[in-house]
Amino acid sequence: TGELEHDRIDALLKEAHERYADVDEGLLAHYIPILGQADPNLFGIAMSHVGGSVHTVGDCSHLFSIQSISKMFVYALVVQEHGREVVRDRIGVNNTGMPFNSVMAVELNNGLPMNPMVNAGAIATTSLMPGKTAAKKWENVREGLSAFAGRSLSLDDEVYHSESLANERNKALGHLLKSYGRLDGDPYDAVDVYTKQCSLNINAHDLAIMGATLADGGVNPVTGKRVVDADVCRDTLATVASNGLYERSGEWLFEIGIPAKSGVSGGIVAVAPGKGAIGAFSPPLDMAGNSVRAQLAIGQLSRAMGLNLFASA
């Protein structure tokens, strides 16, 4: 029956890929110049079980920068380090209802970034990473995210340089947070480490395993190594559920019913606690910055596999 189940999953992934490969909606993220050069036809879907088996279809080995998906894994590392209450007080857990790079969201809430999945909250979260220097924090981010993926991840230099020349807004957010006492250390350093973390290269296969590590209570299903505690996974997934797709998070939860996090290079990871995770990648984005094809594919698979957390049957 195990084999049958595997064949069925392969068939479902293939079906979702075929069904949405020709969808011609969405736009590339041009505000980071190099992301505007991505091939809009790329499309890969991967699924990893908490048991460690991985299924893939399409462009699952194509490397892309992780972008905002890094936020959920850095948040998990920071909660593991400081505990949930310290991080909750500093960052918050509520949805902003505004775009991911909003300055207004910070201003309206007296400097509380509101949640760790938008840029302001993520920059403040990164500043809480263990390490006395920015270089050490970066090393810990890279090593921590590599542990989630089960392989050594590396920086995409081109993306890092492209974004570093175009991140004035994030630098402004860093300084604004500093002015409210919500950022540790130098704001430029925090934004630089944040920009590097967003420029780590991954593929859809990595995404599925990273997500499955959170589904598996913090143990990487492929390496068998513990990355964070089960409580940290629970808190991370709750935060991802309410904020992972920014101002579209409510609609996503209503329609699909599992936590998912997106990034502007076109990746989305969706996590079914105790079961596994789906990683999908395709560069064209909707207006909130979420991959159009990845949302459609994950939605379809979630329905077909009965992953909605709110469904009683």
Q: Which residues are annotated as a binding site for substrate?
A: 68, 119, 163, 170, 194, 246, 264
Residue 157 to residue 146: CA distance in whole angstroms? 17
Q: How many angstroms from the chain centroid is the CA of residue 225?
A: 21
Q: Is 68 in the site for ligand GLN (CB under 6 A)?
A: yes
Cβ 306 to ligand GLN shortest distance, Å: 29
Among residues 74, 289, 292, 297, the one that binds ligand GLN under rule CB under 6 A: 289
- Interacting positions 211-250 with ligand GLN (CB under 6 A): none
Q: Is 26 in the site for ligand GLN (CB under 6 A)?
A: no
Cβ 51 to ligand GLN shortest distance, Å: 30
Number of other residues whose CB lies within 10 A of the CB of residue 234: 15
Cβ 33 to ligand GLN shortest distance, Å: 12
Cβ 198 to ligand GLN shortest distance, Å: 4
What is the size of the binding site for ligand GLN (CB under 6 A)? 11
Identity of residue 62: H
Among residues 78, 264, 269, 307, the one that binds ligand GLN under rule CB under 6 A: 264
Residue 241 to residue 252: CA distance in whole angstroms? 9
Identity of residue 206: D
Output the furthest CA–CA distance in the chain (Å, rounded).
Answer: 59
Among residues 44, 144, 221, 263, the one that binds ligand GLN under rule CB under 6 A: 263
* Beta strand extents in 99-210 (DSSP E only): 201-202
Residue 291 to residue 268: CA distance in whole angstroms? 7
Q: What is the side-by-side order of every strand in the sheet holding 54-58?
A: 54-58, 44-49, 276-281, 267-272, 260-262
Q: Is 127 in the site for ligand GLN (CB under 6 A)?
A: no
Q: Which is nearer to ligand GLN, 113 or 263 (CB)?
A: 263
Q: Is 100 in the site for ligand GLN (CB under 6 A)?
A: yes
Q: Is 162 in the site for ligand GLN (CB under 6 A)?
A: no
Q: Which is nearer to ligand GLN, 101 or 146 (CB)?
A: 101
Among residues 95, 102, 119, 302, the one that binds ligand GLN under rule CB under 6 A: 119
Q: Which is nearer to ligand GLN, 26 or 221 (CB)?
A: 26
Among residues 47, 147, 153, 198, the one that binds ligand GLN under rule CB under 6 A: 198
Instruction: Give the residue among 226, 182, 210 at the shortest CA–CA distance from 87.
Output: 182
Residue 259 to residue 242: CA distance in whole angstroms? 8
Phi, psi torsion values for 200, nearest 5 degrees: -70, 135
The dihedral over CA atoms of 15, 17, 20, 23, expressed in degrees to the nearest 10, equals -150
Q: Is 96 in the site for ligand GLN (CB under 6 A)?
A: no
Contact residues toward ligand GLN (CB under 6 A) are 67-68, 100-101, 119, 163, 170, 198, 263-264, 289
